[in-house]
Amino acid sequence: MVQHFKVTIFGDRRPVYDGKRSLYTANPLPVATTGVDLDVTLPGEGGKDRPFKVSVKFVSRVSWHLLHEVLTGRTLPEPLELDKPISTNPVHAVDVVLRHLPSMK
**pLDDT single digits (tens) 73-103:** 887 766 655 555 455 678 788 888 888 878 7
Using CA atoms, how far apart are residues 12 and 104, in angstroms rounded to an integer? 14
What is the domain range of residue 87? 6-104
Give a yes or no: residue 1 inside a domain: no
Structure pTM? 0.70
Report how far residue 5's alpha carbon sits from residue 9's, in angstroms, rounded to the nearest whole number. 6
Cβ neighbours, 10 Å, residue 44? 10
Is 78 a member of any domain?
yes
Residue 14 included in any domain: yes
Give the rounded distance of the alpha carbon of 63 from its chain centre: 15
Query: 47-73: per-residue pLDDT in tens?
Result: 899 999 999 998 888 878 877 887 888
Would you say residue 97 lies in a domain? yes
Domain count, the chain: 1
Task: Give the separation between CA 63 and CA 60, rounded to whole angstroms.
Answer: 9
